[in-house]
Chain A
Amino acid sequence: MRIKLTSLMVDDQDKALAFYTDVLGFRKKHEIPAGGYRWITVVAPDGPGDVELSLEPNANPAAKTFQQAMFAQKIPLAAFEVDDIESEYQRLKARGVVFTTPPTPMGPVTLAVFSDTCGNLIQIYQPQR
């Protein structure tokens, strides 16, 4: 077994693709029509080229409820490692990204949390060296 794919529900696949590529710097890998929706995957800018993140529609009403509740409770649904959280924070803020938590040391990492404009809070973290 290997982890080759992880997924995030998004409330708008077009917006999600734009945010994850234009703002976060991910690269689109696949975009294929699938049952009235699209199978969209992206690859992280600094990670291996064959580990994909799928941006799936939150069409299921239970998924919507879950996603909105997690958001309101400020619980992030994915976490990405970064090399320099302070400069990433400044870069994203300059792009209009809304942070719910600025870079904050928490245990073994410094973390920050922002909205991906598609219904999710996303955590970025830099391990303490």
Chain B
Amino acid sequence: MREREPAFDRLCRSRELLHADCAGALPLARLAAEARMSPWHFVRRFEALFGSTPHQYRIRTRIERARELLAQGTHSVTEVCFEVGFSSLGSFSDLFTRRVGSTPSAYRRAARVQVSMPGTLPLRMFPGCLSLMALLPADAWRNFREAPRAPGG
């Protein structure tokens, strides 16, 4: 009864597939077929719903996975690169640095000095909702209060 499954559910399932297999190379045609759409429609509908194309989503998931592995400190940069699905250390490093703002090795080093519970990721590098507030400069709130009210506010 897969044909009856609404497009929204099929697209969500494709996203889960991409997420689970970000290191693999599930071709677009296969993903589209799983979603019962033509590749052209699949890409457009995926992007409309999730804000990025399947390819962009895969790349972003790889970088996120790389951040987690590097922060855990158990893999070398090279191991992480291939673990998340990149085939070239150079392009992985470039992409990571551009997206994250530091090289994979600097990121890995920064994680080592964070205090965290074993088996968890350092909260400072992987903030949850609202805990990001605590990473603002110490005088941020004082400045907010002194800022003029927005017009109409």
Partners in one complex: yes
B121 near A50 with CB under 8 A, answer no
A57 near B48 with CB under 8 A, answer no
A117 near B50 with CB under 8 A, answer yes
Enumerate A34-54 residues with CB–CB distance to B below 8 Å: 34-37, 39, 43, 48-50, 54
A96 at the interface (CB under 8 A from B): yes
B51 near A27 with CB under 8 A, answer no
B36 at the interface (CB under 8 A from A): no
Q: In whole angstroms, what is the CA distance A34 to B124 when docked? A: 10
Name A27's contact: one of B19, B127, B140, B150 (CB within 8 Å). Answer: B150
A49 near B135 with CB under 8 A, answer no
Total interface residues in chain A, CB < 8 Å = 40
B125 near A98 with CB under 8 A, answer no
Total interface residues in chain B, CB < 8 Å = 38
Q: Which of B8, B121, B132, B136 has the most CB of A within 10 A?
A: B132
Name A36's contact: one of B64, B125, B136 (CB within 8 Å). Answer: B125
A68 near B135 with CB under 8 A, answer no
- Select from chain A the residue with minimum beta-carbon distance to B15: A68
Name A118's contact: one of B51, B124, B137, B149 (CB within 8 Å). Answer: B51
- Main secondary structure on A side of the interface with B: mixed
Q: In whole angstroms, what is the CA distance A30 to B132 when docked? A: 13
A49 near B136 with CB under 8 A, answer no
Name B129's contact: one of A19, A49, A63 (CB within 8 Å). Answer: A63
Enumerate B89-133 residues with CB–CB distance to A below 8 Å: 100-102, 121, 124-130, 132-133
Give the interface of B toward A (CB within 8 A).
Answer: 8-9, 12, 15-16, 19, 48-52, 60, 64, 67-68, 100-102, 121, 124-130, 132-133, 135-137, 140, 144, 149-153
